[in-house]
């Protein structure tokens, strides 16, 4: 089975539901997790709790095409 160590993962909806449950699992499996969500305060708290670098956190509403495009450009630049 392939490991997630050092793999880049873009996790949308990281501040709630399934995303918030997957985040620690992916992080502790060694993935480089980039998190998105609409709530900056919740994202900042999650990021701080896992000691994620600030550049791996993005406030975005993926129901908005222009925000998805901006997110894609930043994410692919980071990897």
Q: What is the separation, in whole angstroms, between the first and last Cα of the chain? A: 23
pLDDT digits (tens, 9 = 90+) for 66-76: 999 988 887 78
Longest dimension (CA), the chain: 37
- Domain hosting residue 57, numbered range: 8-74
Residue 3 is assigned to a structural domain of this protein = no
pLDDT at residue 79 in the model: 63
**Confidence at residue 75, expressed as pLDDT on a 0 to 100 scale:** 78
Summarised one tens digit per residue, pLDDT across range 23-35 is 999 999 999 999 9
79 is a domain residue = no
Q: What is the pLDDT of residue 78?
A: 66
* pLDDT > 70 fraction of the chain, expressed in percent and rounded: 95
For the record, the structure tokens of 64 come out as 């908005």
2 located within any domain: no
More confident residue, 77 or 60: 60
Any domain includes 23: yes
pTM, two decimals, is 0.83
Asked if the model's pLDDT at residue 1 lies above 70, the reply is no
Task: Establish if 30 belongs to a structural domain.
Answer: yes
- Indicate left, alpha or beta for 30 from its phi (over 0: left) and psi (-120 to 50: alpha): left
Grouping H, G, I as helix, E, B as strand and the rest as coil, residue 79 is coil
Cβ burial of 35 (10 Å; 0-12, 13-18, 19+) is buried
- Total number of domains in the chain: 1
């Amino acid at each position: 089975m392939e490991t997630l160590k050092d793999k880049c993962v873009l996790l949308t909806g990281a501040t709630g539901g399934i995303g918030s449950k997957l985040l620690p699992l992916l992080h502790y499996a060694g993935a480089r997790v980039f998190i998105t969500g609409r709530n900056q305060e919740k994202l900042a708290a999650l990021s701080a709790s896992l000691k994620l670098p600030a550049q791996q956190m993005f406030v975005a509403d993926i129901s908005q095409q222009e925000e998805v495009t901006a997110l894609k450009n930043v994410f692919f630049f980071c990897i």
